[in-house]
Amino acid sequence: MLYSENDKRKHESYRIPLFGSEEESTSIPKYVLKKEPMEPRIAYQLVKDQLMDEGNARQNLATFCQTYMEKEAEILMSETLAKNAIDKSEYPQTAELENRCVNILADLWNAPKDMSYLGTSTVGSSEACMLGGLAMKFRWRNNAEKRGLDIQAKRPNLIISSGYQVCWEKFCVYWDVDMRVVPMDKEHLSIDVDKVFDFVDDYTIGIVGILGITYTGKFDDIALLDEKVEIYNETNEHQLVIHIDGASGAMFTPFVNPELPWDFRLKNVVSINTSGHKYGLVYPGVGWILWKDKEYLPKELIFEVSYLGGSMPTMAINFSRSASQIIGQYYNFLRYGFEGYREIHEKTKKTALYLTKTVEKSGYFEIINDGANLPIVCYKMKDDLDVEWTLYDLADQLLMKGWQVPAYPLPADLSDTIIQRFVCRADLGHNVAEEFAADFRDALHNLEHARVLYHDKGRNDSYGFTH
């Protein structure tokens, strides 16, 4: 077909090459709203390019958060972005899928059959911990009033080890609870159960056990904690409860180490939270919290919403949000089943153990966590090492190959110990891990032969470990 010289189609915007467009050749306003619209394809490219230098998420070994989902899950999730998770009457089937996920988790965490568990999805473990903390606070207050305790005399307190994730500090600040921190020592690097009871009094709303300390991947000894709590409860009117922060471990341990008692099998464990976007294998953000029995979730915290002409209990700090992550979680449960999760997590554990060997063989490091319980490799420099470089230099060397591996000090009381950590995730296959191991060895070689070093040996700042 021939067009006349004056044919307008020649000037149609679709004929303008993306990188020949006006928007691509001028400075766009960044902090005020642009006056005119632009073509979607150009807007898409501009936004995507702005995000380009953030690195390759799959090489980010700092994060626990999922960086891979199957194509079918991605399609399903993008097709369901418009569904509002809170609107149970408009989306009753979505509510049903959420309900199934809660039941699946209750089964996985061994909720006793003779109790009536309750649970909900959340945006992540942080919201779930807020809800878990609130339930403990309200329940403590109700019981304390019944016992005739002067609840105004002192602030209620929560007990946790210094390996806590920042969400617990937020909980305590937002809801005016005294956070009593049990210091970790070099020997335990997790909660010191013997010291816990030095902090307990009638104003203690509960104790948090951490299944997977964010800094190191180590587990609190929850069975021992439960035993000690039981002894306390037998001799005191005030009854202690345990909440488990299983952000990472609660979706890993049931598949890889099902014999380990940490969950509702333990008498005094009354609530558990987890992050669906960590070892639940869903993109951020989805989390879960379950209570063993309705007794542990005071009624004041439950709101009834209309649902299929009836009503349904909800408890959430957030309101409207997309249901696509919940749907993604259900997809994973359906797609992988128990065996699928087990195979994936076993593979990830093997990768972690392999990388631990690589670190160990170099001769420079002392292993703090070898990946046997959670697939987290964590190490520090050997004490008597005579080298010029630090873990921060090693982090920079690895970053040159695109690997994000944080170095940071341990929390309070141990903050003179600098550690480095890789979080192994499902999408770190053995072959990629081999490449990483090669880059790790090269980095050490380069450091040994380097002349210019940037970091003071005394440096102890931290980057990017909290998630």
Ligand X SMILES: *Cc1c(COP(=O)(O)O)cnc(C)c1O
Among the residue ranges 109-117, 209-217, 334-342, 444-452, the one whose residues contact ligand X (CB under 6 A): 209-217
Q: What is the DSSP string of 149-193?
A: --TTSS--EEEEETT--HHHHHHHHHTT-EEEEEPP-TTTSS--H
Nearest residue (CB) to ligand X, 77 versus 447: 77
Least distance (Å) from ligand X to the CB of residue 214?
4
Residue nearest to ligand X (CB): 124
3-state DSSP assignment of residue 330: helix
Report the alpha-carbon angle 66-67-69, nearest 5: 85
Nearest residue (CB) to ligand X, 64 versus 255: 64
Among the residue ranges 93-101, 104-112, 122-130, 291-299, the one whose residues contact ligand X (CB under 6 A): 122-130
Least distance (Å) from ligand X to the CB of residue 278?
6
Q: If you ran DSSP here, which 8-state letter would residue 35 be given? A: S
Which residues have a Cβ under 8 Å from the Cβ of 413 and sit 6 or more positions away?
A: 162, 183, 184, 185
**Per-position x/- string for 35-64, each x denoting binding to ligand X as judged by CB under 6 A, each - no binding:** -----------------------------x
Nearest residue (CB) to ligand X, 188 versus 390: 188
Give residues 263-302 in contact with ligand X (rule: CB under 6 A).
275, 287
Contact 238, 324 (CB under 8 A): no
Q: Which of 64, 32, 47 is nearest to 215 (CA)?
A: 64
- Using rule CB under 6 A, residue 243 touches ligand X: no
Contact 157, 177 (CB under 8 A): yes
Phi-psi region of 232 (alpha: psi -120 to 50; beta: other; left: phi over 0): alpha
Residues 136, 141, 147, 152, CA torsion sign: positive
- Cβ atoms within 10 Å, residue 359: 21
Among the residue ranges 94-102, 210-218, 353-361, 404-412, the one whose residues contact ligand X (CB under 6 A): 210-218
Least distance (Å) from ligand X to the CB of residue 192?
17
Instruction: Give the count of residues interacting with ligand X (CB under 6 A).
Output: 16
Least distance (Å) from ligand X to the CB of residue 80?
20
**Per-position x/- string for 169-208, each x denoting binding to ligand X as judged by CB under 6 A, each - no binding:** ----------------------------------------
Nearest residue (CB) to ligand X, 211 versus 394: 211
Nearest residue (CB) to ligand X, 125 versus 332: 125
Give residues 307-346 in contact with ligand X (rule: CB under 6 A).
none
Least distance (Å) from ligand X to the CB of residue 361?
28
- Using rule CB under 6 A, residue 220 touches ligand X: no
Contact 361, 313 (CB under 8 A): no
Which residues have a Cβ under 8 Å from the Cβ of 185 and sit 6 or more positions away?
A: 192, 413, 414
Least distance (Å) from ligand X to the CB of residue 23?
35
Among the residue ranges 49-57, 120-128, 176-184, 258-266, the one whose residues contact ligand X (CB under 6 A): 120-128
Contact 425, 176 (CB under 8 A): no
Nearest residue (CB) to ligand X, 129 versus 355: 129
Omega into 20 within 30° of 0, i.e. cis?
no
The first and second tokens of residue 79, run together, are 């097709």
- Cβ atoms within 10 Å, residue 31: 4
Specify the length of the chain in residues: 467
Nearest residue (CB) to ligand X, 203 versus 219: 219
**Of all residues in the chain, what percent are helix, strand and coil, respectively (each to 5)?**
40, 15, 45
Nearest residue (CB) to ligand X, 210 versus 424: 210
- Using rule CB under 6 A, residue 124 touches ligand X: yes
Task: Work out which of 94, 121, 214, 271 binds ligand X, going by CB under 6 A.
Answer: 214
Q: What does the binding site for ligand X look like in residue numbers (CB under 6 A)?
A: 64, 124-126, 129, 165, 167, 210, 212, 214, 245, 247-248, 275, 287, 467
